[in-house]
Amino acid sequence: MRDWTAEDMPDQSGRTIVITGANSGLGLHSAYALAAKGAHLLLACRSPERGARAVDQVRTTAPRAKVELVRLDLSDLASVRAAAADIRERAGDRLHVLMNNAGVFGPPLGRTADGFEIQMGTNHLGHAALTWLLMPALRQAPGARVVTLSSLAHRRTTLRLDDLNYERRRYNAFVAYSESKLANLMFAQELDRRLSAADADVLSLAAHPGLTDTELAANGGRARRNKLLEVGVGLFNKVATMRTERGVLSQLYAATAPTVRGGQYYGPAGPGEVWGGPGLAGCSPESQDTAVAAELYEVSGKLTGIAPDPA
For residue 59, what pLDDT is reported? 98
Q: Provide the 10 A C-beta neighbour count for residue 171.
A: 11
Per-residue pLDDT, averaged over 75-83, amounts to 98
Q: Provide the 10 A C-beta neighbour count for residue 291.
A: 7
C-alpha span between 71 and 32 (Å, rounded): 19
For residue 286, what pLDDT is reported? 97
Looking at the chain, the whole-number percentage of residues with pLDDT higher than 70 is: 91
Q: How confident is the model at residue 216 (pLDDT cuts 50, 70, 90)?
A: low
Q: What tens digit of pLDDT does each residue of 38-52 get? A: 999 999 999 999 999
For residue 83, what pLDDT is reported? 98
* 177 flagged as catalytic: yes
Q: Are 91 and 42 in contact (CB under 8 A)?
A: yes
Cis peptide before 136 (omega within 30 of 0): no
Amino acid identity of residue 29, one-letter, is H
Per-residue pLDDT, averaged over 119-132, amounts to 98
pTM for the model: 0.93
For residue 19, what pLDDT is reported? 99
> Does residue 222 register a pLDDT over 60?
no
> Does residue 117 register a pLDDT over 70?
yes
Q: What tens digit of pLDDT does each residue of 274-300 get? A: 989 999 999 999 999 999 999 999 999
Q: What tens digit of pLDDT does each residue of 243-258 get? A: 899 999 999 999 999 9
Per-residue pLDDT, averaged over 228-248, amounts to 65
Point out the catalytic residue in the list 177, 253, 266, 297. 177
C-alpha span between 17 and 146 (Å, rounded): 10
Per-residue pLDDT, averaged over 8-19, amounts to 98
C-alpha span between 242 and 240 (Å, rounded): 7
For residue 212, what pLDDT is reported? 83
For residue 227, what pLDDT is reported? 59
Q: What tens digit of pLDDT does each residue of 266-278 get? A: 999 999 999 899 9
For residue 240, what pLDDT is reported? 56
Q: How confident is the model at residue 1 (pLDDT cuts 50, 70, 90)?
A: confident
Q: What tens digit of pLDDT does each residue of 140-179 get? A: 999 999 999 999 999 999 999 999 999 999 999 999 999 9
> Does residue 236 register a pLDDT over 50?
no
For residue 2, what pLDDT is reported? 73
C-alpha span between 123 and 69 (Å, rounded): 20
Q: Cα 290–304–205 angle (5° rounding)?
A: 40
